[in-house]
Structure 1
Amino acid sequence: MNKLLKKTLKIVLPILLGSFILYWVYRDFDFSRAKEVLLHGTNWWWMLFSLLFGVMSHVFRGWRWKQTLEPLDAHPKTSDCVDAIFVSYATNLILPRVGEVSRCGVLSKYDNVSFAKSLGTVVTERLVDTLCILLITGLTFLVQMPVFLRFFEETGTKIPSLVHLFSSPWFYVSLFSVIGVLILMYYLLRMLSFFEKVKGIALNVWEGVMSLRNVKNVPLFVLYTVMIWICYFYHFYLTFYCFEFTAHLSFLAGLVMFVGGTFAVIVPTPNGAGPWHFAVITMMMLYGVNATDAGVFALIVHGIQTLLVIVLGIYGWLHLSLVNRKRG
């Protein structure tokens, strides 16, 4: 019964957290405006172009993952690596951050790749990606420092009065987001401690982590990493051209919002729902877009990008089943 309750809470709590933040952000929103823009004010060619970059970011990630597995004498099918990435992102919609574990399970099932070793390569990947986003954030902050400072001020992060702090609705959105991240870290630490108790698992995970040292083609690994982040950025930035009220926003504006949105999705909600909207809307308003249009942008773009994750997840699952059935 306790296990069932814990599993239920792992699914329900992220949804509740995301729903609460979404409600808070859109509590006074005019949804008729969103419907009007969706039906008559969206340039779908630009949207499709942006989605292409979304697909390719997963493909490059799958190719890069295959590289880190090769030093472990693991040679999964390339399409299986990509499909596993598709499935993992879809899984994250139901159980945030569990997708990273699920993709290891996919290769274990279909390609006989050691689960523990592949999990280690995922840890390595995340460390590399963390370094990338910190580098991007540092450069963006230096170039657009006044915008970030205004963002901190307007969200209650930098204000002179504690009374103002506790009366700011954005403070509570930020507070619940931080609490969500802390809960996620707690479960991740518990998961790590569980692995350490199982004989041989920790050693295999460490072997996977260190696989990066023996990657055969380092320049190709770097290229894949760069392409992943370029695709992530253009997956977001090109959506500016889908709407008249955001088409004027600059490359640097897109970079600022991309950084803000990237940190927002750390909060364990389905595809960052809620925190991502909050960050993007607030930052977009700093660039002169009115609150309603910024809300429309976040609602439509996040909704369509989430739909893409679902479609790719279904495709990946079906393709894995079909290809491996033929192989068997």
Structure 2
Amino acid sequence: MKKGLIAALKIIIPLGIGVYLTWFFISNLTDVELQNLKNAFLKADYRFIFIGIIIMLLSHMSRAYRWKYLLAPLGHTPNFWKMYHSVMIGYLINLTIPRSGEVARAGYYAKFQKKAPFEKVFGTIIVERIIDVIMLGIVMGITLYFQKDVEAFNSIKNTGNSGGGIPTWGYFLAALLIVVGFVLIMSVPKIKLKVREILRGLYEGVSTILQLKQRTAYVLHTIFIWVCYVLMLWVCSFALPETANLSINAVFAAFVVGGIAISATPGGIGLYPLMVAAVLSNLYNIENAESFSMLAWTSLTAFTILAGLVSLVALPFISKKQAALSE
């Protein structure tokens, strides 16, 4: 009962914050802006939204294909569709609890791939996240280089921060939990053995980056994925006349704050339109920026949900079919 309540709260609280931010965003629109928002959804050129979704799909497929380079040193020759569907399920789960998709992705793949221990698979995903942080840093560097008013950009980038920070007692509580956890692990042999096995598996997964045989291909896929991320937002901007002429500066700025929003709330719900609109309207004087940010976020998120749901059904089916063929 208690575990179920905690699990439910982990989903309800982030989604609740997102719903509140969505309400806050829409409720602060003027009557004219609300009408513009309705008109944007009715009159948008969805050909460009469709192209943006295709680019998004290509980035996900590239990420799935790139994953095999890290799984190979573990002795796996995985089916591409198993990797792809695991990736898409991860994105879907991320819409409930931020960053929980990585665990779900490793769990689903390990469940449907023979001889794929969760710890080792999760270790390869940790590697991916480290690479993503490096790439995000590079993109942020490019973005800051492009910005004329860095101070204004930084103020908007921090829109999603609460401002209060973590209270002092929070650090002491975290330290206490770490100490208690360490003592518990060291004093109970079964727990100590289990933790050691988990850490060994994670290490083997993470160390696969040092055993890559096709490093050039891995790097090229990484570049392709991040180019797609920026490109899909730029392509979607052509759907509305007010944003059809966005400068490269504006595209990079909107992408960075949008990425921050997505990491802060489930899928960026509420916060993504708020922050992207703030950047485009305040820094670049883009009219109807609220409509574009809501249109782009809604379209791309809807595709993620649909593709994720399809993958939830397809992954078990593919695994059963593959198992039947191998018998």
Output the TM-score relative to the length of structure 2.
Answer: 0.85
Residue of structure 2 in register with 1:103 after alignment = 105
| Alignment counterpart, residue 276 of structure 1, candidates 272, 296, 314 | 272
Residue 139, structure 1, aligned to residue 136, structure 2: no
Residue of structure 1 in register with 2:212 after alignment = 215
Q: Using the TM superposition, give the Cα deviation of residue 120 of structure 1 relative to its aligned residue in structure 2, in angstroms.
A: 0.5
What SS class does the counterpart of residue 243 from structure 2 fall into?
coil
Q: Using the TM superposition, give the Cα deviation of residue 98 of structure 1 relative to its aligned residue in structure 2, in angstroms.
A: 1.3
Residues 70 and 208, structure 2, Cα contact 8 Å, conserved in 1: yes
Residues 177 and 275, structure 1, Cα contact 8 Å, conserved in 2: no
Determine the C-alpha separation between the residues in 2 that align with 1:200 and 1:22. Answer: 43
CA deviation map 1:52-98 (0-9, x unaligned): 11101110110111110111112221110011111110111122211
CA deviation map 1:108-162 (0-9, x unaligned): 1111211000100100100011001101111221231x33322345x496xxxxx
| Alignment counterpart, residue 96 of structure 2, candidates 91, 94, 97 | 94
CA RMSD of aligned residues (A): 2.5
CA deviation map 1:253-279 (0-9, x unaligned): 101111121122220x22011222222
What SS class does the counterpart of residue 196 from structure 2 fall into?
coil
Determine the C-alpha separation between the residues in 1 that align with 2:261 and 2:301. Answer: 15
Residues 257 and 284, structure 1, Cα contact 8 Å, conserved in 2: yes
Determine the C-alpha separation between the residues in 2 that align with 1:205 and 1:223. Answer: 25
Residue 311, structure 1, aligned to residue 313, structure 2: no
Q: What letter matches 2:11 in structure 1?
A: I
Structure 2: any 5+ residue segments left out of the alignment?
186-190
What SS class does the counterpart of residue 161 from structure 2 fall into?
helix
Residue 232, structure 1, aligned to residue 229, structure 2: yes
Residues 84 and 316, structure 1, Cα contact 8 Å, conserved in 2: yes
Determine the C-alpha separation between the residues in 2 that align with 1:28 and 1:224. Answer: 41
Q: What letter matches 1:23 in structure 2?
A: W
- Counting only pairs closer than 5 Å after superposition, residues 169-318 of structure 1 correspond to structure 2 as 173-175=160-162, 198-267=195-264, 269-285=265-281, 286-290=283-287, 293-318=288-313
Determine the C-alpha separation between the residues in 2 that align with 1:272 and 1:156. Answer: 14
1:156–1:75 distance in 2 versus 1, CA, 3 Å: closer
What SS class does the counterpart of residue 202 from structure 2 fall into?
helix
Residue 121, structure 1, aligned to residue 143, structure 2: no
Residue of structure 2 in register with 1:326 after alignment = 321
Structure 1: any 5+ residue segments left out of the alignment?
158-169
Q: What letter matches 1:296 in structure 2?
A: S
Residue of structure 1 in register with 2:9 after alignment = 9
Output the TM-score relative to the length of structure 1.
Answer: 0.85
Q: Which is higher, the Rg of structure 1 or of structure 2? A: 2
